[in-house]
Amino acid sequence: MDEQAKELAARSTGSRYVELDALRGLAAFTVVVYHLSRAYEYKPRWFLKPMVAGTQAVILFFVLSGFVLSLPFWNKGANGNYGRYIIRRFFRIYVPYVAAVVVAALGAWKLLYSRLPLSPWFYMTWQTAITTKLLGRELLMDTTPALNTAFWSLRYEVLVSIAFPALLVGMRWLKPRVAFPLVLIASVGAGVERARLRTPVGVVELAHYGLFIVAGALLAAERQRLHEIWRRMTGVVRAAFLGASAFCYFGYAASVGKRIHLRVPEDLSCAIGAGGLILCSMHSRRLRGILLHRIPEYLGRISYSMYLVHGTVLFATLNLLYGKTSIGVMAGVYLVMTFAAAHLFCIAIEEPSLRLGKTLSMKAGRMHGRDK
């Protein structure tokens, strides 16, 4: 397994933990399936919920982002160069995003205003004229699904990324053990306010999702101590912890709470479960072995590209094939075309953008060093 891990790390796109890339990839796949189910208003049986855990996957993405982004800070104990950091984030998130906006606009151009007997969710996308105003909003990372149903979360990712180094300094000053309960209380408050508002405003949504990124960073700060706790656990306790994490993450805890008239904050429960799954992915030999398999690792490699392009592929597939073939065949075409498009997008756009960002950030670092 060590040799395989080295090989996977060599092919990794830069994450410290290859298994977390794979976890992200599996979560991205559930988003792909989830959006197909939304088009048909398909509500799965309880045991199929993990296959359509798209909403939960987005929360996992936020927690994972905070975890991975904060690792250099906690490892080196230094703030690093903010300019280099911003350059790398710009080419990591925004450049591929702009390319995905162009792809979505081209896909929508000839397929606008279709009237298919699908869910109301379907009519939230590709029903708005492709104008310079719309494209301008998309380039500013608008959260409406007019062009692509999956783009909305990236605005919060970018906004928190800009302030993230300062947030890390604040967390270090407060100490993670003090910061974590404060984040928990703030997350509950943001969730309550979000539920109170029929249409949550941007600041509330930013706080709601941004706190999950902060929670991921706090989890990373305590990872060594948590690893020691894991080592002292028995096999039964570890299995129970994994089961409880999955139970929370996939929404079963919130569902059970509703049945017994106990309000369980669903997103917060999901975030706690996501944190547990991250820990299990790093420390459980069996789970880590599964995630280091080539298929999950490959899904991790293309996960961001898959997230960016699958909505465009879905709406193009529905518009072109609905009523002409069975749902099963159409679903198969959608999945195959999503993987093909994500692979091409990854090797043609995402990975070159990553390399360019790394090169430019290194140059910026050398210039900064000479200036000193």
Encode pLDDT of 16-66 as tens digits: 589 999 999 999 999 999 999 999 999 888 899 999 999 999 999 999 999
Rounded distance, CA 144 to CA 153, Å?
A: 10
pLDDT digits (tens, 9 = 90+) for 344-371: 999 999 999 999 999 999 887 676 555 5
Structure tokens at 217: 């960073």
Q: How far apart are CA 187 and CA 200, in angstroms?
A: 15
Predicted TM-score (pTM) of the model is: 0.92
pLDDT at 14 over 70: no
Instruction: Provide the terminal-to-terminal Cα distance of the chain, rounded to the nearest Å.
Output: 44
Give me the pLDDT at residue 370, please: 58
- What pLDDT shows up at residue 198? 62
Euclidean distance between CA atoms 94 and 343, whole angstroms = 18
| Cα distance between residue 19 and residue 26, in whole Å | 11
Residue 212 near residue 187, CB atoms below 8 Å: yes
Out of 95-104, 265-274, 284-293, 361-370, least confident range: 361-370
Q: What is the rounded average pLDDT of the residues 317-343?
A: 97
150's tokens? 């999956």
Which region, left, alpha or beta, applies to residue 323 given φ > 0 means left and ψ of -120 to 50 means alpha?
Answer: left
C-alpha 29/C-alpha 333 separation (Å) is 15
Look at residues 68, 73, 72 and name the one whose alpha carbon lies nearest to residue 278: 68
Q: Which of 331, 309, 306 is nearest to 321 (CA)?
A: 331
Q: What is the pLDDT of residue 36?
A: 97
The conformation of residue 253, written as its DSSP 8-state character, comes to H
